[in-house]
Amino acid sequence: MESRQRRKTERRLWWQAGLLIMLMILALAIGSTSQLTLPVFLHVRLPRMLGCLLAGSGLAVAGMILQTVLANPLASPNILGIQSGAGLMTVLSAALFPAAFGLRMPASFLGAFLASLFVMLLAKKIRASRSTIVLAGLAVSQIFSACIDLILTLAPDSLTGYTDFRIGSLAGITLNRLLFPALCIVGAIVFTLLCARQLELMQLGQHDAQCAGLDVNRWMLGFLALASLLAGSVISFTGMIGFVGLIVPHMVRRLSPGPLMKQLVSCLLLGPAFLLLADLLARTVAAPYEIPAGILLTLAGGPYFLCLLLKGKGHGHD
């Protein structure tokens, strides 16, 4: 029976890989111009497709980490305020140091990590349950989002183009902009895969994980740092794209039940596929105009989040 379930899961992973490859080909073939010249391929479509791969996998794994560590299916970078924290520090660094493009990535990670740390400390201070952490994250997210809007209002000249950053878009990505975030995302994903056993122990709950020999507080801080690095790296080149880290882990659990390692692999396949599909729709649904992918993801993620609330799945473990 176990062998049969394993083969079924492996077949589903192959199906997901095939879907991803098909969407990658479509992403390279479809665009605003019908002629696929070498410059268009190298400087427009290839960087955009690679950006989708990196962003989709990074946000999906970050969401899986957060939902596992916090034992709450509503946990994700945008719900917990991690996305807004990364966005705030990125916009602030751009306003203070307009020419220092190298600061965007470190600032984004710092903002993401500080936001996650602040939410955890706030929840610990008020002795909140893990489900209440989500409510604290939503409050923090709103505060940071208001600060972003304030900075964009006060410094419009030095932040030209950051309106798209606020929405989230995959347009305008270049290979140079992807290099440093790609190293961080790939490194964080590899480290997460190497630590899959410790992450799986976190599913047992704090007491049982400690009985199994896991230093829960230390590993929780480490996994929060990994999720923050993934989310911050993605946001530094896509802007504040949300809900990938919420929706994809739920898809993964339905399609690839079993060990956490296989679920993480599934995140690496379904996350990019989901974002590639959203980006393809963004490019084609209102052609010749383009809708920012972040808008489509919010239109899909908002109702999904409400469905989770209505079904009472946001209570997790106290």
* Predicted confidence (pLDDT) per residue in 171-209, tens digit: 889 999 899 999 999 999 999 999 999 999 988 877 788
- Is the pLDDT confidence value at 170 over 50? yes
- Report the domain count for the chain: 1
Domain that holds residue 279: 66-310
- Is the pLDDT confidence value at 269 over 90? yes
14 within a domain of the structure (yes/no): no
Instruction: Please indicate whether residue 267 or residue 128 has the higher confidence score (pLDDT).
Output: 267
1 within a domain of the structure (yes/no): no
Cα–Cα distance between 122 and 109 in angstroms, integer?
20
pLDDT of res. 206: 76
Burial 134-162 (b: 16+ CB within 10 A, else e): bbbbbebbeebbebbeebbeebeeebeeb
Contact (Cβ atoms closer than 8 angstroms) between residue 69 and residue 216 = no
29 within a domain of the structure (yes/no): no
43 within a domain of the structure (yes/no): no
224 within a domain of the structure (yes/no): yes
pLDDT of res. 318: 46
pLDDT of res. 126: 63
Closest to 71 in 3D by CA, of 216, 265, 174: 216
- Can you tell me which residue has the tokens 């924290």? 85
52 within a domain of the structure (yes/no): no
pLDDT band at residue 316 under the 50/70/90 scheme: very low
9 within a domain of the structure (yes/no): no
Supply the mean pLDDT for the chain: 87
pLDDT of res. 197: 93
Closest to 171 in 3D by CA, of 30, 49, 35, 60: 49
- Domain harbouring 211, CATH code: 1.10.3470.10
- Is the pLDDT confidence value at 263 over 90? yes
pTM score, whole prediction: 0.92
Cα–Cα distance between 23 and 40 in angstroms, integer?
18
- Residue-wise pLDDT tens digits, 71-114: 888 889 999 899 999 999 999 998 888 877 788 889 999 999 99
Cα–Cα distance between 56 and 62 in angstroms, integer?
10
250 within a domain of the structure (yes/no): yes
pLDDT of res. 82: 93
